[in-house]
Amino acid sequence: MVHNLSLLYDDVFDGDTVRRHRTAAWQVFGPSSAARSADALMLTAFDVLSDTDGPNGPVVREASAALLDVLIQLAVGESLDLVFEGRTQVALAECLEMVSGKTASLFACACRLGALYGGAGPAAIDQWAAFGHDLGMAFQLVDDLLGIWGDPTLTGKPVFNDLQNRKMSVPVVAALTSATPAGNELARRYSRPGSDTAGLARLVEEAGGRRWTSDRAAQHATAARDRLHRLTAVPAALEDLEALCTVVVRRVH
């Protein structure tokens, strides 16, 4: 529910008209209805965690606090994403902070709740959350790559979508801060409306933005995999979760 409410808001804020090959909800029902639906999902998510009469009653308070924290992080991350669109300069550290808030925090919370309800101790819970954070960072970094170079027949979004919207995604910021001729030319063109998006994509790649983002995603996936081996020795669990670490960096949609 939290994942889907974040997508409802994201499409409204970014003005994206397509989600998963279908018309975005705000385009069909209007932005106000989409926002109210997101709010309803948020309240329902807390209602799910409010079952104090069940066997997990003792962990409800901690779970609710974790959910509240991730919702705040999501709001901050989404706000940063919007603020960056109005700026000509964004530091790479700022961009990664935004990614951490709007995506990695959600993965981290999912793993935290799973460990919490599974009866893990505090240290293990924190480590599972760290695993989720690395996984979420890798996921979003690849998502930023797909936002520029993804196949629209697979992603369900127009080609060069993020460049068309002048998003300050990680590949773009990595290119803009590269201090290369291509990065300088990208900065000159990126602030101008109507620039050729294919040309912008070429400059991002020439400035090293694509490679930097891909390498960073691989580093986070490796870190997540390393954490797994310190957290569990159960073969089935390792196999499935290691496969997930591979999928997030190799996915095409």
CATH code of 145's domain: 1.10.600.10
Does the residue 99 lie in any domain?
Answer: yes
Host domain of residue 163: 90-250
Does the residue 72 lie in any domain?
Answer: no
Tokens of 30: 């209007």
Tens-digit pLDDT profile for the chain (253 aa)?
A: 999 999 999 899 888 888 888 999 999 999 999 999 999 999 999 998 887 676 777 788 899 999 999 999 999 999 999 899 888 899 999 999 999 999 999 999 999 999 999 999 999 999 999 999 999 999 999 999 999 999 888 887 777 888 988 899 999 999 999 999 999 999 999 988 777 999 999 999 999 999 999 999 999 999 999 999 999 888 888 999 999 999 999 998 8
Q: What is the DSSP string of 130-172?
A: HHHHHHHHHHHHHHHHHHHH--HHHHSS-TTHHHHTT---HHH
- Total domains in the chain come to 1
Does the residue 120 lie in any domain?
Answer: yes
Does the residue 44 lie in any domain?
Answer: no
Does the residue 80 lie in any domain?
Answer: no
Does the residue 53 lie in any domain?
Answer: no
Does the residue 206 lie in any domain?
Answer: yes
Count other C-beta atoms under 10 Å from residue 39's C-beta: 13
Does the residue 85 lie in any domain?
Answer: no
